[in-house]
Structure 1
Amino acid sequence: MCTRILWNTSDHAVLAGRTMDWPESTEPVLTVFPRGLERDGGSLAGETVVGENPLRWTSRFASLVTTVYGAGTADGLNEAGLAAHMLYLDSTDLGPRDPARPGLQVALWIQYLLDSAATVREALDLLDTCQLVPVEMRGFRATVHVALEDSSGDSAIIEYIAGRRQVHHDRSYTIMTNEPAYDEQLRLLREQVRIVQGLGHDEPGSEVPLPGNVNAVDRFQRAAYFSALLPEPAGDRQAVAAILAVTRNASVPFGAPYREGKFRTYNTEYRTVCDLTNGRYFFELSTSPNLLWAELARFDLSPGAPTMTLHPEDIDLVANVSDRFTPSPAPF
């Protein structure tokens, strides 16, 4: 489930595409949060899940995100040019709770980073300020790992394995899927490269034996291959189209073999692209043929401004929908 693809080598824009793959609707809502919001990291959909020493903070930056079940943030970017993406990782283990450390329920993890950091480096520096606390939403355990990138092209992957945090921080870490853990994904990618070269395919071409399944490992390898071949675009429009093409290639289509067990595979619910250079956020619901986008600069982001939301399932929505958002109570 889920794929993240970062394109940080183009001269036009730093772009990050992602798929959200899930067995049911996550009830996505595009949401613009202004600066200056008071947050409670111990609350989940209005219920207290961190009773002792919850993390509380005030948002430093405004953000444009996609929420999940109205209880947290799955994806988005902030006005400073930082983006974050939450992906499922079954082997996540956050370790035992230490009440001496401020607790942050994991569904608000990336919202905390978007609220508080301007760069990947700043976001990583925040990791020691709190302890992540596991939660469940709609019967699903929120076992996740996170990808970060910023407008400079910097990148980081953050995982918690056996209770220990693992951070992969380098602009070369551009692809991310789910299982297995990131170290193993990189090893499998190197093995695939050796197979291709061993068959005499030193140059890219139609005969390269790319894996074609929809599991996380195959999607990782296809995304890495095709994103590395992206030509320099003629402009911003072509750049977004190019990263969307690779993101769609890594999607799980309707009717694809459904897999249970350790490495579960589900259909793609939606795709997004974060344009970190221009502050644009693109959204494509897989049940609709329309591509939407919004621009942070079109909103009032000042403290005290209303939270603005848009439900993307409206079939009449297409192209720039910044003026279709409406004021709403902040969901968290």
Structure 2
Amino acid sequence: MDMKTALHSLLIASTTSFALWSPAADACTRTLWNTNHLAVLAGRSMDWAESTQPRLMILPRGMARDGGKLGPATVIKDNAARWTAKYGSVVTSAYGVGAVDGMNEKGLAMHLLFLTATDYGAREPGKQGVQAGLWGQYLLDNAATVAEALEAMQRIQPVMVEYAGFKSSLHLAIEDASGDSALIQYVDGKPKIYHGRAFRVLTNDPPYEQQLAELKKWDFSQATRETPLPGNVNPVDRFIRANYFLSTLREPQSQRQAVASILSVARNASVPFNAPYKTPGSTYDTEYRTVADLSNRQYFFELASSPNVIRVDLDQIGFSAGAPARMLNPDNVELSGSVNQQFQPLAKAPF
């Protein structure tokens, strides 16, 4: 099927959206800066083979969600999670059917990244199923901290969704305003959780413990411009490079400097346009970057094809139950700075 035709059909019927999570993909980098004294910030790059049609969404409290739905299609028939959002959030959606990045009004943020080895295991009837594209949204809706999110995880099981060979092979990074962090991977059918402030960087393959083993091979204690660094765009190279540059950041003197600092690391770990990827001729360019300032509850977004950084101020949003969901297409070079007033109400919830 022609991909643009598939995307068009997706936005209408939401039945072919699994193209978002192709098993051929390896992309994205998350970095957490929780060691400065000014603010806790998380940066993220989204790398993909085509546009994911990102949209910024303002989602109020009180919204009802069905974790067994992907658009109008029912993808989990038995014991699907159904919930009402306790907290409002600002998220970046992909293909209109799920949230892959964002933060809630309490300062909890989430980032879904690709992991080839993902195996959510056999369906556990005692746990409520959430199709993996709504995994992060479930936590934003129900938790204010990493600890609460991990507790909420005990009640659910992410479920692999599949269509025409595409799978939702995802792992998740979360962090909160205290600087707490957790990385959650499902490998060999079991969840593996890395919980603690020290878990700051996440890319993709191989599974996290193997990436940590690679990091131990490097000594950056006396770094200079002569220090050799892996410079390609594969996940391990990006993981090493992001850890290195994150460790070199100086104490920021202002919020502006702090945001610029973590964004600079995200840019360094990004994939340049048309950089060769897994197979000859394949590309997974960085489509956008985000920064979640959890201390000041601001969400920054930078489209790689646009020269401007835009900002959503969560403290200036009315997340009251009953308010409509709102959406903003960031693909507009006229947008810059605060965009709170640029969001348009939606007739119905996107998911």
- Please report the TM-score for the alignment, with normalisation by the length of structure 1: 0.94
**Alignment root-mean-square deviation, CA:** 1.4
Aligned residue number for residue 321 of structure 2: 303
Separation in 2 of the partners of 1:115 and 1:81?
12
Unaligned runs of 5+ in 2: 1-26
Aligned residue number for residue 76 of structure 2: 50
Question: What SS is found at the alignment partner of 2:217?
Answer: helix
Separation in 2 of the partners of 1:47 and 1:13?
41
The CA deviation string for residues 111-149 of structure 1, in whole angstroms up to 9 with x for no partner, is: 000000000011001112012111147863110000010
Aligned residue number for residue 25 of structure 1: 51
Separation in 1 of the partners of 2:285 and 2:163?
19
- Is the Cα contact below 8 Å between 2:234 and 2:277 reproduced in 1? no
Aligned residue number for residue 256 of structure 1: 275
Map 1:196-211 to 2 at 5 A. 202-211=221-230
Map 1:153-192 to 2 at 5 A. 153-192=179-218
Of 211, 234, 237, the match for 1:218:
237
Aligned residue number for residue 199 of structure 1: none
Separation in 1 of the partners of 2:163 and 2:96?
10
Aligned residue number for residue 66 of structure 2: 40
Q: Percent identity?
A: 52
Which range is displaced more, 65-74 or 134-143?
Answer: 134-143
- Is the Cα contact below 8 Å between 2:64 and 2:84 reproduced in 1? yes
Which range is displaced more, 289-298 or 246-255?
Answer: 289-298
The CA deviation string for residues 11-41 of structure 1, in whole angstroms up to 9 with x for no partner, is: 1110000000111111111001111111100
Aligned residue number for residue 244 of structure 1: 263
Question: What SS is found at the alignment partner of 2:50?
Answer: coil
- Is the Cα contact below 8 Å between 2:274 and 2:283 reproduced in 1? no
Matched length: 323
Q: Name the aligned partner's letter for residue 277 of structure 1.
A: S
Question: What SS is found at the alignment partner of 1:192?
Answer: coil
The CA deviation string for residues 38-67 of structure 1, in whole angstroms up to 9 with x for no partner, is: 110000012100111110011000000001
Shift >2 Å, 4+ stretches: 98-101, 136-140
- Is the Cα contact below 8 Å between 2:29 and 2:238 reproduced in 1? yes
Unaligned runs of 5+ in 1: 197-201
Aligned residue number for residue 300 of structure 2: 282
Assess, with a 3 A threshold, how the Cα gap between structure 1 residues 319 and 140 changes in structure 2: closer, same or farther: farther
Question: What SS is found at the alignment partner of 2:216?
Answer: helix
Aligned residue number for residue 79 of structure 1: 105
Assess, with a 3 A threshold, how the Cα gap between structure 1 residues 117 and 13 changes in structure 2: closer, same or farther: same
The CA deviation string for residues 204-246 of structure 1, in whole angstroms up to 9 with x for no partner, is: 2101011111110010001000111100111000100011111
Separation in 2 of the partners of 1:83 and 1:128?
19
